[in-house]
């Protein structure tokens, strides 16, 4: 089979140009282009008339930020068959290769960036393409979750090296099943447009992390455990954490038992964002502790030794 030169392209949603300073591996890299060039490139490769671009391309409202487009690119070779009319064909080996390649070197770093700091930076769509007679031809396209526009993910200058270190050293997926499940539910919260469902996915994550085993009256213990893990050991701060978790847990009970929906209106307190903040901090704290669930609960019963 002939060796085909292939190209990878994935626009980045909900991020500003600070993301360009993050380094990826295996040839993947962040890059940017102007609004005009980005529009022209995507319209050409998707065969969409420029005049109808925003009508037919569903991701435009999240990927075109601050007048430009951030994206992830790569190029690589792969042995692929070519049919009688010269069209490149895909096969099962290619599917396995590209999914593993993108999962390890693109999706995993983006998940870790979302864990490092609040913000729904992600790729809603990615393609692999090649050139035929100087025209780009899509070989494979993958549309992921389309989400509501959120504030741009931004890394300050002093956060760049910390974020880079975090994505290089944080184990994901975790060897502990409870951490993996908690993180999956944390991730789900970013891609559900319904505030109540996002809130519940985060509550599942919270309970997976700190709920005592075989306990039927556990809300008070959950609140105490979160305060113990996240408090700075001054009574005031622990009390503040416990107050927030108690309030959020009351809303969880009202949602489940009384149907009181969670609604995060613009300008109002954002319960989903606040709960996600606590879950994110818990995940990072427990990952650093590196304890099985049983040992974590033992630690929480006697945190000061």
- 132 falls in which pLDDT band (50, 70, 90)? confident
What pLDDT does 220 receive? 86
- Of the segments 74-88, 135-149, 247-261, 284-298, which one has the largest average pLDDT value? 284-298
What pLDDT does 200 receive? 94
Q: Does position 236 have pLDDT exceeding 70, yes or no?
A: no
What pLDDT does 19 receive? 95
283 with 184: CB under 8 angstroms?
Answer: no
Query: Between 90 and 266, where is the model more confident?
Result: 90
Q: What is the arithmetic mean of pLDDT over 197-207?
A: 94
CA–CA dist 115, 109 (Å, integer): 10
What pLDDT does 177 receive? 92
Tens of pLDDT, residues 89-105:
788 889 899 999 999 99
Q: What is the arithmetic mean of pLDDT over 97-114?
A: 95
What pLDDT does 55 receive? 83
Report yes or no on whether pTM surpasses 0.85: yes
Query: Between 264 and 248, where is the model more confident?
Result: 248
170 with 285: CB under 8 angstroms?
Answer: no
- Burial-class residue 13 by CB neighbours within 10 Å (0-12, 13-18, 19+): buried
- Burial-class residue 304 by CB neighbours within 10 Å (0-12, 13-18, 19+): exposed
Q: Does position 151 have pLDDT exceeding 90, yes or no?
A: no
Q: What is the arithmetic mean of pLDDT over 114-118?
A: 96
- 127 falls in which pLDDT band (50, 70, 90)? very high
- DSSP code of residue 195: H
Q: Which residue has the tokens 């089979």?
A: 1
Q: Does position 25 have pLDDT exceeding 90, yes or no?
A: yes
Distances (CA, A) of 18 to 15, 70, 121, 163: 8, 10, 12, 11
What percent of the chain clears pLDDT 70, i.e. is strictly above it?
Answer: 88
Q: What is the arithmetic mean of pLDDT over 200-215?
A: 88
262 with 272: CB under 8 angstroms?
Answer: yes
Query: Between 295 and 152, where is the model more confident?
Result: 295
């Amino acid at each position: 089979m002939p060796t085909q030169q292939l190209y990878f392209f994935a626009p980045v949603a909900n991020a500003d140009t600070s993301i360009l300073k993050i380094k990826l591996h295996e040839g993947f890299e962040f890059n940017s282009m102007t609004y005009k060039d980005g529009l022209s490139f995507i319209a050409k490769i998707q065969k969409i008339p420029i005049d109808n671009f925003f009508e037919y391309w569903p991701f435009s409202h999240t990927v075109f930020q601050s007048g430009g487009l951030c994206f992830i690119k790569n190029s690589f070779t792969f042995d692929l068959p070519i049919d009688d009319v010269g069209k490149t064909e895909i096969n099962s080996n290619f599917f396995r290769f590209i999914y593993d390649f993108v999962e390890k070197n693109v999706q995993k770093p983006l998940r870790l960036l979302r864990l490092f700091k609040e913000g729904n930076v992600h790729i809603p769509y990615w393609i692999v393409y090649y050139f035929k007679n100087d025209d780009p031809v899509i070989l494979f396209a993958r549309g992921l979750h389309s989400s509501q526009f959120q504030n741009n993910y931004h890394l300050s200058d002093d956060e760049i090296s910390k974020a880079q270190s975090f994505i290089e050293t944080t184990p994901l997926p975790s060897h502990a099943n409870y951490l993996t499940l908690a993180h999956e539910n944390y991730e789900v919260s970013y891609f559900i447009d319904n505030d109540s469902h996002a809130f519940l996915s985060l509550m599942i994550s919270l309970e997976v992390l700190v709920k005592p085993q075989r306990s039927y009256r556990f809300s008070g213990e959950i609140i105490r455990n979160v305060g113990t893990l996240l408090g700075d050991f001054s009574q005031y701060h622990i009390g503040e954490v416990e107050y927030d978790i108690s309030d959020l847990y009351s809303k969880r009970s009202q949602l489940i038992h009384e149907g009181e929906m969670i609604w995060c209106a613009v300008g109002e307190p954002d319960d989903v964002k606040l709960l996600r903040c606590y879950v994110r901090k818990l995940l990072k704290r427990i990952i650093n502790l590196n304890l099985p669930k049983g040992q974590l609960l033992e630690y929480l019963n006697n945190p000061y030794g």
